[in-house]
Amino acid sequence: MTDPLMSTYSRLPVSFERGAGATLWDRDGRAYLDAVSGIAVCGLGHAHPAVTRAVCEQAGTLVHTSNLYGIPRQAELATELTRLSGMETAFFCNSGAEANEAAIKLARLYGHQRNVAQPAVVVAEGSFHGRTLATLAATGNRKVQAGFEPLVQGFLRVPYDDLDGLRAIAANSPNAVALLLEPIQGEGGVRVPSDDYLPRVRALCDEFGWLLMLDEVQTGIGRTGAWFGFQHSGIQPDVITLAKGLGNGVPIGACLARGTAAHLFSPGSHASTFGGNPLACSAALAVLRTIGEQDLLTRARELGDRIRAGLQRGLSPADGVRAIRGRGLMIGIELDRPCGDLVRRALERGLLINVTTERVIRLLPPLVLTDAEADRIVAEVAGLVQAFCAAA
């Protein structure tokens, strides 16, 4: 029988029926500790009561109205996000890819405003910005682009965390008008740049009149122990994009801007049918309120330190471990060999993990993780890696 679903995912042999906190249960009632969080989506864990209550109450009154009309919940969410980020305006959509599309369009408007006929956006090798055509072209991974040519034009690529390369592009690319970067590359292997990278990038963008646009789709909403990844570096970008953790599973994305970028869009220049509807905004407001009230930013930092320290202790004798890195609850363990099989081995032990770039185990547990759950992740992952490396 033909599968009615298009073959776009390599799915693991499990389906989940319910969840609570950091635990998911399959159809047979078996429990799994979730160290993936729907790839950084469920920062508050599964079925968080504050989000459930907000969604149920909003669904009982009004789910959707068009952006042809005022949406008070949207205005409330924009006010809160701009306050937390230091930005000025917000555009709401449904996903990270859509948020990055909005940022790319802002960059092109900005370029034309400066009389650049063919404006270009500088992007980094190893980046991931989405799978729509423009964000696919911006992404620095040839594997995800293959087969979808011709790619959207207007992107210039530089190595990540390489200021000399960036300065060379700036000196030789008069069409460049903006730089789009992840504060930490997620799909690219949880790559944390050097401490002075973003401050020096900010200075370079100012020198050349570029917009600094940060893709915070994975790093935003508390994942790294700050509301936004850029807040660890003491800089202020011109544009940031959000999604994943913002709605804790209810689809919502956002593009925030300040300065010149804050006022480039005008009625008709960009839109989203579902973006920022009352239901999604109510969920996002509940997320922001809960993170603030429960001080989950501090909790993410403490848990991240606890897990990384535990992994350092547990894996120190293991041959094959190249690096353990990350910030907050965005953690990567790089091995010297492909390790995708570890995902299935962990699943058999009731633990959900992820592997990216073939060699990096990526851990993205919820911010509501308990100490005991954090310690179990450390013990299980260390044991799996030790056995995997010893057997190879």
Catalytic: which of 34, 91, 92, 128?
Answer: 128
128 labelled catalytic: yes
Whether 228 sits among the annotated catalytic residues: the reply is no
Catalytic residue among 215, 228, 238, 265: 215
The catalytically annotated residue of 92, 208, 230, 244 is 244
The residue type at 171: A
Cβ-contact 349, 5 below 8 angstroms: no
266-272 long-range Cβ contacts below 8 angstroms, 24+ apart: 269/105, 269/109, 270/91, 270/102, 270/105, 271/67, 272/67, 272/91, 272/92, 272/93, 272/94, 272/98
> Taking a C-beta distance cutoff of 8 angstroms, is the pair 136, 144 a contact?
yes
Distance (Å, rounded) from C-alpha 188 to C-alpha 141? 8
Strand, helix or coil for residue 61? coil
CA distance 164 to 307: 34
Residue indicated by tokens 């078996």: 30
Question: In the numeric block, which tokens belong to residue 95?
Answer: 């996903």
In the annotation, is 143 catalytic?
A: no
Q: What residues are annotated to the active site?
A: 128, 215, 244
